[in-house]
Structure 1
Amino acid sequence: MEAIRAHPVDDVATALRPIPLGTDVEANGVSVRVRSEIPQGHKFALTPVAAGAAVHRFGARIGRATQAIAAGDHVHTHNLATCLSGELAYRPVAATGTTGDAPPLPSWRGYRRADGRFATRNEIWLLPTVGCVAPLAEDVAREAALLHSGKVDAVAGFGHPHGCSQLGDDLAGTRCALAGLCANPNAGGVVLIGLGCESNQLDDLVAAVPAEARSKLRIMRAQEPGDERDRALALVGELAEDLALARREEAPASALAIGLKCGGSDALSGLTANPLLGRFSDRLAASGARAILTEIPEIFGAEDALFGRAASPEVFEDAAALLNRFKRYFLDQGQPVSENPSPGNIAGGITTLEEKSLGAVQKGGQAPLVDVIDYGAQATEPGLTLLEAPGNDAVSSTALAAAGATMILFTTGRGTPLGFPVPTVKVASNSKLAEEKARWIDFDAGRVLSEGQDAVADAFADHLLAIASGEPTAAERSGQRVISIWKRGVTL
């Protein structure tokens, strides 16, 4: 198979390998001779498209032709442009969300916490309130990890540059993100390290942590008398002795909380990896588990595919308000809402934000959209939750962990080694990437093209449950774990 047409109404097909000029190509029953060389992952027209007419992929509009396009032409940035502009008045539609015949997932093995939630890892996290003590937190974590090896799954320090010279909602956002990380079940214990004089005061941060999670906190201020390093190590040691007693036990599938993320996408992401995540998301919903979708700018242009699954009028209104609020965030800065895809996305064959979004939202499957939450808030409802956060990989993945995700599924067509506070499963959209970057990739979704979704989906689910039960990810094996907090306001 040289090319694939994603939907019967599509004007374009996607090349599954480089196609030379003049090659006769068949895509799902439509034949055409290509009029130029088509790189792998790029689109070519199956039928003529008039200048100004809509171009369709995934059964929806991905932009408009900026010039006449002949059958067989390469379709990309030179002849296709976005139709996105600003805010929209969204109209409610009848709910269409369903998990269909998606089978529930089997049990897995996790750590039961005192509040009844289950964790995929039993770890100690060191979190600084402010960037001034970020290197201290990371350095202490490295020493403590050696001292307490074998007692816990990991000791990790997560530095960031924020927590001071911030005002209002910007400071509150930093505080909420850190409070959410403190509450994550994978952090069996947390050492909060403050400086003492920062805007993000320790007492205010502790008060923002959900009450049921405060007992696992240990706090210290570096400016107080005594050796701050020795004090931090002593607090980690105290937590390590307690957490060393934890053991994995059988956990129901409903105890899973999974973040959905894509980064470095290519044109195959919406054909292989993201639909594969969608199949798993439907099984999560059928099991009563939580799936969390974010990257709000990567919903622009694909709203209908998501909003039509809102479980209630209130959820629809909240989702519509969130998207318009995010568009206003761009517009107020004098930026267009369509300044996406990235250079890497474009090189991989994605042309417009509509196209990128229609591929990205497939990670959420077909399950009903049950809740919409703000940045820093906790995802509590079984089913699919929409979380406020930007598309940036590190910022949105940190937000997923702060919302309670105990594992993140991260699809990619271009590849990235980066991992985040919770196990981050890298899913390659194409087999070439999986082969060339074996140290980065956990699962090859390119297999879908040769083996079919059904066969690969079962193997994928089995692999994910093994990771949830303790099998390390590629990012964990290489020590790739960071956080990044969304900075939205002025800096003093």
Structure 2
Amino acid sequence: MLAAIKAEESDLVATALRALEPGEEVAVAGNIIAIAEAIPAHHKFALVPLSEGADVRRFGARIGRATESIRAGGHVHVHNCATCLSGEIAYSERPADAALDRAAAAPLPDWRGYRRADGRWATRNEIWLLPTVGCVAPLVEDVARQAAHRHAGRVDAIAGFGHPHGCSQLGDDLAHTRRLLAGLAANPNAGGVVLTGLGCESNQLDSLLEEIPNAARAKVRVLRAQDAGDERAELMSLIDDLADELATATREIAPASALCVGLKCGGSDALSGLTANPLLGRFTDRLAASDARAILTEIPEIFGAEEALFARAASREVFEDASTLLNRFKRYFLDQGQPVSENPSPGNIAGGITTLEEKSLGAVQKGGHAALVDVIDYGRQATRPGLTLLEAPGNDAVSSTALAAAGATMVLFTTGRGTPLGFPVPTVKVSSNSNLAAAKPGWIDFDAGRMLEEGQDTVAAAFAAYLLSVASGEQTRAEANGQRAIAIWKSGVTL
């Protein structure tokens, strides 16, 4: 291949070629290099000449078609490579006896967590304030800040999660908001929950309470602001009582099977699929080997890579549910008059990702080789050991919130561009490249760029050890910086 691109042999080119699959036609530059032309850092160059209309392959699969002839060593990007995605697909039926190609992985060791009354385990012991409607969101957030100062050191955190929804919604749109909030209230990391309503909103407290699983309702307190005398004083009193109850909780040795981890990527670059996402995949394999739960979402960022994921379906039913979900999500785009391939984002493109297929093929690597055991709707909870596919869009805040509502007690978030934002549960930011980790130490928790220089087994072992320390109480950068938020997927009309 080095001869094909007629470049002088160098460490940078060698790095670019190191992780190639057989038959690949492009590689990623580790830094700015000059081959047949200048190649920006993390962008692709052709390993062989490509004729107009030829398939462009990366990750062992097609990521698009060349829109013009590309010489060996030439820059391959949006100016000369286009998506092949269109609309819905009639997926081939998964054979009943399809073998699952799972890599052997060592189970994870124990960690230290909080055991809840319903038998589940939490990575944090916190009090969450959740508003039913945007009208009381600022109130909830303000009282939560005061309570966090008042009870500092007694619980791990007290957080108010505001949002603008809960009224002027109809049908499924309102039901989705209610279900999402109920899922958050049920998360084990929330040892106590205060649901705060206004009183006249569409998302009534009684209906919301009915959505919360019975086992989680005992930890929930409610307040209707319109019925309260001094709503701030009454909210604080409810928090005081919960803090007294939770202050005695202590960490205990917890089995690895008790972990439930959300998998997310945002602000990806062309190295995400070579470093950070495969690193998460290796951890996912260990979660599956431990009978723990991992949750993969961002359905539009599976388009173009779904067949590799579906081949790991544990049953025909799971295969059918997954293919139905993807086509339903594509129809959601098409019904709005939008193409299914309207991705990657401007930041992704600047980072070297050219098509949605390329982005998806990198993104699904977060799931490793684990069997796909379940497919769940937005707002539902993951219950089966192994890898679960969750319905949610690619938006960072919306999908990460959905992961927490699905039961994740920790979210692993890979990024090539960086973001300071965190979500309700500990959010571990994993950089795809070492430059980002060096530039943003206040954002990034773990540098997966090390995968290009160090032994992959060594880095994967260090990553697993670090994640278990986070599960056992070590704060992430987002937690330390107070960067925690939620976002709800609004899919219907507004009255």
Specify if TM > 0.5.
yes
Aligned counterpart, 2:177? 174
Looking at structure 2, the residues matched to 51 and 225 of structure 1 have their Cα atoms a distance apart, in angstroms, of 70
SS in 2 for 1:178: helix
2:418 aligned residue (415, 418, 421)? 415
What letter is aligned with 2:493?
Answer: V
How does 1:187-266 map onto structure 2 within 5 Å? Answer: 187-266=190-269
How does 1:15-94 map onto structure 2 within 5 Å? Answer: 15-20=29-34, 34-94=35-95
SS in 1 for 2:332: helix
Aligned counterpart, 2:350? 347
TM-score scaled by length of structure 1 = 0.97
CA deviations on 1:344-374 (whole Å, 9 max, x unpaired) are 0000000000000000000000010000000
1:448 aligned residue (451, 457, 462)? 451
CA deviations on 1:260-282 (whole Å, 9 max, x unpaired) are 00000000000000000000000
- Alpha-carbon distance, 1:225 to partner: 3.7
Looking at structure 2, the residues matched to 219 and 240 of structure 1 have their Cα atoms a distance apart, in angstroms, of 15
Aligned counterpart, 1:300? 303
- Alpha-carbon distance, 1:305 to partner: 1.3
Looking at structure 1, the residues matched to 323 and 494 of structure 2 have their Cα atoms a distance apart, in angstroms, of 30
Aligned counterpart, 2:319? 316
- Alpha-carbon distance, 1:98 to partner: 4.5
What root-mean-square deviation, in Å, do the aligned CA atoms of Structure 1 and Structure 2 show? 0.7
Unaligned 5+ runs, structure 1? 21-33
1:2 aligns with 2:9: no
**Preserved contact between residue 228 and residue 234 of structure 2 (Cα < 8 Å):** no
**Preserved contact between residue 96 and residue 368 of structure 1 (Cα < 8 Å):** no
Looking at structure 1, the residues matched to 456 and 417 of structure 2 have their Cα atoms a distance apart, in angstroms, of 21
Looking at structure 2, the residues matched to 447 and 205 of structure 1 have their Cα atoms a distance apart, in angstroms, of 46
- Alpha-carbon distance, 1:97 to partner: 3.1
**Preserved contact between residue 371 and residue 384 of structure 1 (Cα < 8 Å):** yes
What letter is aligned with 2:352?
Answer: G
- Alpha-carbon distance, 1:7 to partner: 1.0
Looking at structure 2, the residues matched to 168 and 314 of structure 1 have their Cα atoms a distance apart, in angstroms, of 28
May I ask how many residue pairs the two structures share in their alignment? 479
Q: 1:98 to 1:291 in 2, by over 3 A?
A: farther
- Alpha-carbon distance, 1:453 to partner: 1.4
SS in 2 for 1:482: coil
2:119 aligned residue (106, 116, 121)? 116
1:405 aligns with 2:419: no
Looking at structure 1, the residues matched to 69 and 103 of structure 2 have their Cα atoms a distance apart, in angstroms, of 41
Looking at structure 1, the residues matched to 355 and 113 of structure 2 have their Cα atoms a distance apart, in angstroms, of 41
SS in 2 for 1:386: strand
CA deviations on 1:455-489 (whole Å, 9 max, x unpaired) are 10000000000000000000000000000000100
Q: 1:59 to 1:422 in 2, by over 3 A?
A: same
**Preserved contact between residue 101 and residue 369 of structure 2 (Cα < 8 Å):** yes
1:104 aligns with 2:76: no
Identity of aligned residues (%): 75
SS in 1 for 2:39: coil
Looking at structure 1, the residues matched to 100 and 258 of structure 2 have their Cα atoms a distance apart, in angstroms, of 22
**Preserved contact between residue 192 and residue 242 of structure 2 (Cα < 8 Å):** yes
**Preserved contact between residue 99 and residue 286 of structure 1 (Cα < 8 Å):** no
Looking at structure 1, the residues matched to 153 and 249 of structure 2 have their Cα atoms a distance apart, in angstroms, of 12
Looking at structure 2, the residues matched to 65 and 98 of structure 1 have their Cα atoms a distance apart, in angstroms, of 31
Aligned counterpart, 2:138? 135
Looking at structure 2, the residues matched to 442 and 96 of structure 1 have their Cα atoms a distance apart, in angstroms, of 36
What letter is aligned with 1:2?
Answer: L
